[in-house]
């Protein structure tokens, strides 16, 4: 610290000797945060040498890149991930650094956040996780993820915000604003078309422009233009035969030119594969999974990065100019001035009571009640005996899953949450099945020993025996964060539940009529037992307060209000991705950047999620579905006028009444249908939603404003958004398949 202070003092002294215009503060422009941002950027840039510029555009450690020590400009420090601040690792290894003060609050996975359909909760989430990042003095939070849920085998779907671009876009904006209010930059990822984990470095996505703009780009655009995100992460895969980290179309033409993005593009770790193409059209900052960005085994080799020594050599040889380098250095300086050099940044906090409360609230409001025949839920106030079955009732879920793995200070298991809520009841746990007995990832360990000696038949028999006389039997299973489950790097290998869980559920359904199945996952799963089970709950990876959030909902302390952010098909063969060409792709002859390439073609086009199921059927639980412990009645929707011009709008208003006996929240959804379209369009598309909280008997009016944007499709020939004149319908709904009212209007 003393050496850094001396360097800063020297820099200030040198600057004060006439190198820059002096302010009343006595500081040079770039150090005076009262000056306009761009003036500071230009002033700092004008003082830098070529070596200092080259140093800034690539990593110096696993998660940091250099500033300019001579000028007192600090380093950039990044951190995973979107659900909590990652534990510190060694300088150039993935092994743990062994800190004792880097245990954090684990927040619910973003699939759960999306299931809240609540913009205010998204802002609370962003503000809270941003405070934890700021407390650890991080510059960039590597998240949130907004890649579209294209099909239910993607190992990383749990990190994303569902299948619909409008929902993802609306939910990401307040998250971005919340994080950045702490002086910490988000890094919205993974831009773009990174919708599966298998072959993610070598998959060349083939997608038409209309599908690209209507489905896969809107959430990123919202984060950039509405949320004003300060950084974006380029993905691993290829588009248009170019890796995303050096992609001229998506980085230069779309992100920087069309959307006006003035922030920093950061590579995914090891995502850069060449120097000249990346220097001309690529990322601003190169990071790597290993110290040369590509391979294991080298140490202290950061000069081997593509945007390091090779970049400088290309400039000195005249193979490329400095215009591109200068632009990316200015973007990096802009990021630093917005974050680490903003002296008004809050101090932040970590594992505070407020953060635990936020995690618990978000978790509870994310849980989706899929089915509740016979009003099995909520549970009675004073049950005598509760049987909890399933490995996921006790398995810690904050460790594992790839880069979102966390070192949580606390994780309340579902079993412990139920015990805490019902201290007077006899709460018994039976395992039921054996799934993943591991509990370590990159040196973070749960400390759990989940090894089991009983065989599958005995486990089921023991669970069935324990069900006798139980007031409630709660099966808690689903997926986990092991490889080929919900995890980075590999996709799932089956749509059905793993580890023989279906047999356990079937046996319990025969033994009791008080069975509640709780599925913990970030992906849809097959439910062949759906007709035999009276109550089904979709849970998520809820982090630190997971058990309390679940117990809050099961007990009725919190009335469930979550709605599905994706569709759950009856079986895998009903989803839109079926052919090898669609996934995992067809291996082509030749290489790109010296790597084999698989062409993955999105032949389903714009028909993703409910857009597909509306035409083809096969849905078990539709997008937007979610039950409550109360009931809601929708009145007739009405319009303020029956026609609109291109520059105008119409407003649709619908009364909503709580007709039940308990307080609850309903998600009112607005879909738009183009009745007279001359081109192929989905039956309907989500264009609005509002979550309304009502007391028993209370009624409120919910209004949506519909403008031309809500009516438009992307015309690839014109490269423009277009709305055709004619008749449209506004559909007010409780889910994609539960339409409560329809009104028609005309676009003149």
* Residues designated as active site: 268
Q: What is the enclosing helix (H) or strand (E) of 355?
A: helix 353-366
Handedness of CA 151, 152, 155, 157 (dihedral sign): positive
Q: How far is CA 604 from CA 210, 291, 526, 579, in A?
A: 12, 39, 22, 10
Phi-psi region of 556 (alpha: psi -120 to 50; beta: other; left: phi over 0): left
Query: In the 8-state DSSP scheme, what is residue 145?
Result: B
Strands 586-592 and 568-569: unpaired
Neighbours of 24 (CB within 10 A): 7
Pick from 616, 727, 604: nearest CA to 674: 727
Taking Cα atoms as reference points, which of 430, 394, 392 lies closest to residue 412?
394
Tell me the residue ranges of DSSP E strands in 562-679. 568-569, 586-592, 595-601, 619-621, 632-634, 638-639, 643-644, 649-658, 664-674
The DSSP bridge partners found for residue 353 are none
State both tokens at 748: 């003149």
Q: Residue 595: is it exposed, middle or buried by C-beta count within 10 angstroms (0-12/13-18/19+)?
A: exposed
Distance of alpha carbon 672 from alpha carbon 687, whole angstroms: 7
How far, rounded to the nearest angstrom, does the alpha carbon of residue 117 sit from its chain's CA centroid?
14
Q: 3-state DSSP call for residue 706?
A: strand
**Whole-angstrom distance, CA of residue 450 vs CA of residue 28:** 60
Q: Helix or strand or coil: residue 545?
A: helix
Distance, CA of 203 to CA of 17 (rounded, Å): 54
- Burial label, 178 (beta-carbon count in 10 A; 0-12, 13-18, 19+): buried
**Of the candidates 338, 343, 351, the residue with the CA atom closest to the CA atom of residue 135:** 351
* DSSP H helix total and E strand total for the chain: 18, 33
Of residues 619, 621, 538, 610, the one with CA closest to residue 571? 619
**What is d(CA 51, CA 26) in angstroms, rounded to the nearest whole number?**
28
Token readout for 156 is 């990383």
Pairing of strands 440-441, 444-445: antiparallel
Q: How far is CA 28 from CA 20, 32, 67, 329, 592, in A?
A: 6, 6, 17, 19, 47
Tokens of 695: 């007391």
Q: 395 near 480, Cβ under 8 Å?
A: yes
Q: Compute the distance between CA of residue 100 and CA of residue 79 in angstroms, rounded to an integer.
A: 17
Residue 700 near residue 691, CB atoms below 8 Å: no
In terms of Cβ atoms closer than 10 Å to its own Cβ (0-12, 13-18, 19+), residue 147 is buried
Asked whether the bond before 192 is cis by omega within 30 degrees of 0, the reply is yes
CA distances from 110 to 50, 351, 573 (A): 41, 19, 26
Rounded CA-CA distance 652/640 in Å is: 7
Structure tokens at 407: 């070192």
């Amino acid at each position: 610290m003393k050496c850094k202070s001396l360097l800063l003092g020297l820099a200030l002294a040198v600057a004060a000797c006439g190198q820059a215009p002096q302010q009343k503060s006595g500081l040079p422009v770039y150090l005076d945060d009262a000056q306009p941002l761009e003036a500071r950027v230009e002033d700092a840039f004008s003082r830098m040498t070529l070596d200092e510029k080259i140093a800034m555009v690539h990593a110096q450690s696993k998660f940091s890149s250099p500033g300019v020590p001579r000028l007192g400009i600090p380093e950039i420090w990044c951190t995973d991930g979107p659900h909590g601040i990652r534990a510190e690792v060694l300088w150039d290894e993935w092994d743990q650094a062994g800190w004792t003060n880097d245990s954090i609050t684990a927040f619910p996975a973003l699939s759960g956040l999306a299931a809240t359909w609540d913009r205010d909760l998204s802002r609370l989430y962003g503000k809270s996780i941003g405070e934890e990042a700021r407390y650890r003095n991080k510059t960039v939070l590597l998240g949130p993820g907004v890649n579209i849920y294209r099909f239910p085998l993607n190992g990383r779907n749990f990190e994303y915000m569902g299948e619909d671009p409008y929902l993802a876009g609306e939910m990401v904006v307040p998250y971005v604003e919340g994080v950045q209010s702490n002086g910490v930059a988000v890094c919205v990822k993974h831009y773009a078309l990174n919708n599966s984990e298998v072959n993610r470095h070598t998959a060349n996505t083939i997608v038409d422009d209309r599908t690209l703009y209507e489905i896969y780009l809107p959430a990123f655009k919202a984060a950039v233009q509405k949320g004003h995100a300060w950084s974006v992460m380029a993905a691993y895969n290829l588009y248009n035969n170019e890796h995303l980290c050096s992609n001229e179309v998506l980085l230069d033409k779309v992100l920087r030119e069309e959307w006006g993005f003035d922030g920093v593009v950061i590579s995914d770790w090891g995502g850069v594969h060449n120097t000249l193409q990346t220097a001309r059209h690529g990322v601003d900052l190169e990071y790597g999974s290993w110290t040369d960005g590509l391979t294991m085994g080298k140490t202290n080799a950061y000069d081997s990065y593509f945007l390091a020594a090779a970049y400088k050599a290309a400039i000195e040889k005249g193979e490329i100019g400095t215009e591109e380098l200068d632009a990316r250095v200015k973007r990096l300086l802009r990021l630093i001035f917005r974050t680490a050099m903003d002296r008004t940044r809050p101090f932040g906090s970590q594992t505070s009571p407020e953060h635990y409360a936020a995690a618990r609230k978000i978790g509870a409001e994310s849980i989706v009640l899929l089915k509740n025949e016979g009003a099995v839920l909520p549970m009675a106030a004073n049950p005598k005996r509760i049987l909890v079955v399933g490995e996921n009732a006790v398995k810690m879920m904050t460790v594992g899953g790839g880069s979102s793995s966390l070192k949580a200070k606390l994780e309340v298991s579902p079993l412990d949450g139920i015990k805490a809520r019902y201290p007077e009841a006899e709460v018994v746990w039976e395992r039921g099945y054996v799934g993943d007995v591991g509990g370590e990832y990159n040196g973070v360990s749960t400390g759990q020993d989940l090894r089991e000696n009983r065989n599958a038949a005995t486990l089921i028999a023991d669970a069935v025996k324990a069900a006798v006389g139980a007031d409630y039997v709660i099966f808690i299973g689903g997926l986990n964060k092991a490889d080929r489950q919900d995890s980075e790097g590999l996709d799932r290998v089956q749509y059905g539940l793993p580890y023989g869980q279906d047999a356990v559920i079937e046996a319990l359904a025969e033994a009791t009529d008080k069975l509640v199945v709780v599925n913990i996952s970030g992906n849809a799963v097959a439910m062949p037992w759906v007709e035999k089970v009276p109550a089904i709950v979709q849970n998520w990876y809820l982090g630190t307060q997971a058990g309390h959030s679940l117990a809050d909902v099961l007990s009725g302390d919190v009335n469930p209000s979550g709605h599905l952010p994706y569709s759950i098909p009856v079986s895998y063969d009903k989803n839109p991705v079926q052919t090898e060409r669609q996934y995992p792709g067809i291996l082509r002859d030749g290489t790109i950047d010296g790597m084999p390439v698989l062409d993955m073609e999105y032949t389903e086009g714009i028909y993703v999620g409910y857009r597909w199921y509306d035409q083809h059927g096969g849905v078990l639980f539709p997008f937007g579905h979610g039950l409550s412990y109360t009931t809601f009645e929708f009145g007739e929707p009405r319009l303020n006028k029956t026609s609109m011009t291109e520059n105008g709008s119409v407003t649709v208003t619908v009364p909503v009444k709580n007709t039940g006996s308990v307080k609850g929240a309903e998600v009112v959804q607005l879909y738009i249908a183009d009745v007279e379209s001359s081109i192929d369009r989905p039956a309907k598309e989500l264009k609005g939603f509002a979550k309304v909280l009502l007391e028993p008997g209370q009624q409120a009016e919910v209004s949506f404003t519909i403008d031309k944007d809500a009516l438009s499709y992307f015309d690839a020939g014109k490269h423009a958004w277009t709305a055709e004149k004619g008749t449209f319908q506004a559909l007010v709904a409780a889910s994609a398949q539960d339409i409560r009212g329809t009104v028609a209007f005309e676009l003149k």
